[in-house]
C-alpha cells in the first residue's frame, strides 16, 4: 500500500526500477522517457551501462503487456514486465481477493485521468527463453501511474471541431475511466464508451451500427483501431485519424487522412500518415478544414460561372445556321478570344479570392457526392440558356428595326458582355441576394468588372476596335435594350434565390 509521488520526492523504488527495465533502452514514448528520467534521479548506482538486452517481448496480448530480459555483467538475469494492469496480473500468482483490490485501486486512479500500468519482475533460470512472455512466472510489484494533462488550448480546439461539424472520437488503449476523464477535461462528448472486449464480440455490421454514436473507445488494440476506422468509412464518413505510435500505423494508413505528429511521432507513424504536423499542434487542423471548404466553395462558383457563360457563346456561334436573319459570321475568332480573356481571370483569380461566410464553412461537404448536384447543374444550365435567349432577343430587336449586320452583332455582343458582368455578381452566392454580396469585400472584383466595362466601351467607340470586332458605335439611348436584356437574362436568379431560401 506504499505510495510514492516522484514529483515530490524521488527515492529508490522497485516498481520504478522494473518499469525502467521493461521500457525501451532509448525510449521515444514520453511515459517511458519519464521512467528513465526518474530512475536516473532515484538510484545512485545506475545499472543500465552494466547490462545488455538479450530478449524482448514486444507489446502484445489483450490487454497488452511487454517484457524485456537483460543480462547483467555479473551473469544474473533482470526481467522487467509492464503493461495493462489486468494483463500483468494475469502473469502473476496473486490471490483473487488481492487481485480485485489492485484492480479497484487502478480504476480509482484511472477515474482521475491517470494512465495506469502494472509492473512485475520475472523469474527465469534457463538459457533458452519461452516463445511467449506469458510462460515466464512473475511477481507483481505494483502500479505505476502517469498524468499527462491536456494542453490548456485543447478544449477550445475540440469545441472548434464540433463547431466545424466535425465529429470527434477518442480511441485509446487506456482504461475506460481514464478515457472518460480525459474526454470530460477536453470537451469530447462522453455519452457512450465502448471497450475493446465489446468490439471483439461484434461483427463488422454490428460495429458499423454503433460506431457513429460512440465518441469514446477504450482498451483498444491496433487491430480494433483499424476495425473502427473501417466501420466509420463503411458508414460513408470521411475519416481523419491522428496518432504518433507504431500501434497507430495501420489505422493511420487506412484513414482517408492519416495525421501523424512530427515531433513525438515515430518514424513508422509518420511513414503511414498522409500528413505530418511539424509542431504537433492540432489546433491548426480546423484552419485547414475551413480553408479546404473555402476552396471547394469558390471552385464550385467558378465552375458554375464558366459553364453558364460558355453556353451562350456556343449557342450564338451555332444560331446563324438556324436563324437566317442573323449575320452568317456572328462571332469571329477575335470575339471568342476576347470573351475567353475575360472569363479566365474571373473564374481563376476573382472567384478564388471570394470570402465565404462562416455559416457556410461550418457545414461539411457531403461525402461521396459529385462536385455539381443535379439541381445545381440544372440552374447553371438555365442561366446559360437565359443569357443566350437575351442575346438573341437583342439581335432580333436590331433586325426588326432594319439595322445592318454590324448593328445586330453589336447588340448581341454588348448584351453578352454585360450579361457576363452581371453573371459574375449574381453567382457570388446562390443563397444571398446581390444586394448582400455586393457589400462583401473582394478587392479584385471591382477591378475586373471595371476593366471589362472599359474594354467594351473601347470596342464600341474606338474606330480601330470597331473594325477589328466588326461592330458600330451605339448612341446612348441604344444602350437601353442591351442593358435591359442583360439584367433580365441574369437577374431572374435573384427571384429564384428569394423563393428558394424561404423553403
**pLDDT-based confidence at 360, cuts 50/70/90?**
low
List % helix, strand, coil for the chain (3-state, nearest 5). 55, 15, 30
Q: What is the pLDDT of residues 418-450, one digit of tens each?
A: 999 999 999 988 888 888 888 888 888 999 999
**pLDDT-based confidence at 369, cuts 50/70/90?**
low
CATH 2.120.10.30 fits 154-280, yes or no: no
Tell me the mean pLDDT in the region 92-121.
Answer: 91
CATH 1.20.1110.10 fits 287-501, yes or no: yes
Residue 503 has a pLDDT of: 56
| Region(s) of the chain under CATH 1.20.1110.10 | 287-501
Cα–Cα distance, 105 to 287 (Å, whole number): 42
3-state secondary structure of 367: coil
* Number of neighbouring beta carbons within 10 Å of residue 323: 13
**All 3 cell numbers of residue 191?**
455519452
Q: Tell me which architecture the domain covering 14-146 has in CATH.
A: 3-Layer(aba) Sandwich (3.40)
**pLDDT-based confidence at 370, cuts 50/70/90?**
low
3-state secondary structure of 142: strand
Residue 253 has a pLDDT of: 93
| Region(s) of the chain under CATH 3.40.50.1000 | 154-280
pTM: 0.73
Cα–Cα distance, 201 to 162 (Å, whole number): 30
Helices (H), 319-462: 333-345, 358-361, 374-400, 405-426, 434-437, 444-461
Q: 55 and 69 in contact (C-beta within 8 Å)?
A: yes
Residue 2 has a pLDDT of: 66
| Region(s) of the chain under CATH 3.40.1110.10 | 14-146
In which element (H, E) is residue 177 found? helix 176-186
pLDDT score of 110 more than 80: yes
Amino acid at each position: 500500500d506504499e505510495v510514492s509521488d516522484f514529483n515530490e520526492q524521488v527515492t529508490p523504488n522497485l516498481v520504478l526500477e522494473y518499469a525502467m527495465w521493461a521500457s525501451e533502452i532509448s525510449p521515444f514514448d514520453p511515459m517511458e522517457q519519464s521512467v528513465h528520467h526518474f530512475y536516473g534521479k532515484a538510484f545512485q548506482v545506475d545499472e543500465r551501462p552494466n547490462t545488455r538486452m538479450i530478449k524482448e517481448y514486444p507489446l502484445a496480448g489483450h490487454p497488452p503487456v511487454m517484457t524485456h530480459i537483460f543480462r547483467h555483467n555479473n551473469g544474473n538475469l533482470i526481467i522487467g514486465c509492464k503493461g495493462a494492469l489486468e494483463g500483468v496480473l494475469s502473469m502473476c500468482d496473486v490471490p483473487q481477493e488481492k487481485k480485485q483490490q489492485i484492480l479497484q485501486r487502478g480504476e480509482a486512479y484511472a477515474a482521475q485521468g491517470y494512465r495506469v500500468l502494472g509492473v512485475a519482475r520475472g523469474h527465469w533460470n534457463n538459457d533458452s527463453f519461452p516463445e511467449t512472455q506469458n510462460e515466464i512466472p512473475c511477481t507483481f510489484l505494483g502500479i505505476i501511474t502517469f498524468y499527462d494533462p491536456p494542453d490548456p488550448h485543447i478544449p477550445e480546439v475540440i469545441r472548434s471541431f464540433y463547431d466545424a461539424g466535425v465529429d470527434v472520437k477518442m480511441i485509446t488503449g487506456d482504461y475506460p475511466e481514464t478515457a472518460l476523464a480525459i474526454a470530460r477535461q477536453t470537451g469530447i462528448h462522453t455519452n457512450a464508451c465502448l471497450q475493446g472486449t465489446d468490439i471483439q464480440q461484434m461483427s463488422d455490421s454490428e460495429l458499423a451500427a454503433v460506431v457513429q454514436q460512440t465518441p469514446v473507445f477504450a482498451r483498444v488494440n491496433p487491430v480494433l483501431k483499424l476495425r473502427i476506422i473501417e466501420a466509420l468509412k463503411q458508414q460513408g464518413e470521411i475519416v481523419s485519424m491522428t496518432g504518433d505510435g507504431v500501434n497507430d500505423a495501420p489505422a493511420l494508413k487506412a484513414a482517408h487522412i492519416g495525421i501523424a505528429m512530427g515531433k513525438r511521432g515515430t518514424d513508422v507513424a509518420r511513414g503511414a500518415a498522409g500528413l505530418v504536423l511539424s509542431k504537433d499542434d492540432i489546433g491548426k487542423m480546423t484552419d485547414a478544414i475551413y480553408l479546404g471548404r473555402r476552396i471547394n466553395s469558390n471552385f464550385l462558383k467558378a465552375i458554375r460561372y464558366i459553364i453558364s457563360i460558355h453556353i451562350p457563346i456556343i449557342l450564338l456561334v451555332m444560331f446563324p445556321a438556324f436563324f437566317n436573319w442573323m449575320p452568317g459570321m456572328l462571332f469571329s475568332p477575335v470575339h471568342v478570344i476576347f470573351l475567353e480573356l475575360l472569363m479566365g481571370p474571373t473564374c481563376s483569380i476573382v472567384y478564388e479570392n471570394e470570402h465565404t461566410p462562416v455559416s457556410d464553412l461550418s457545414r461539411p461537404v457531403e461525402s461521396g457526392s459529385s462536385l455539381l448536384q443535379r439541381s445545381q447543374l440544372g440552374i447553371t444550365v438555365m442561366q446559360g440558356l437565359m443569357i443566350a435567349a437575351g442575346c438573341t432577343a437583342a439581335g432580333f430587336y436590331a433586325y426588326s428595326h432594319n439595322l445592318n449586320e454590324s448593328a445586330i452583332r453589336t447588340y448581341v455582343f454588348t448584351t453578352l458582355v454585360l450579361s457576363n458582368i452581371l453573371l459574375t455578381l449574381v453567382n457570388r452566392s446562390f443563397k444571398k441576394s446581390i444586394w448582400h454580396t455586393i457589400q462583401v469585400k473582394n478587392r479584385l472584383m471591382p477591378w475586373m468588372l471595371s476593366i471589362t466595362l472599359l474594354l467594351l466601351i473601347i470596342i464600341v467607340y474606338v474606330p480601330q476596335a470597331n473594325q477589328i470586332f466588326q461592330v458600330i458605335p451605339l448612341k446612348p439611348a441604344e444602350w437601353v435594350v442591351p442593358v435591359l436584356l442583360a439584367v433580365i437574362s441574369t437577374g431572374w436568379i435573384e427571384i429564384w434565390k428569394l423563393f428558394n431560401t424561404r423553403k
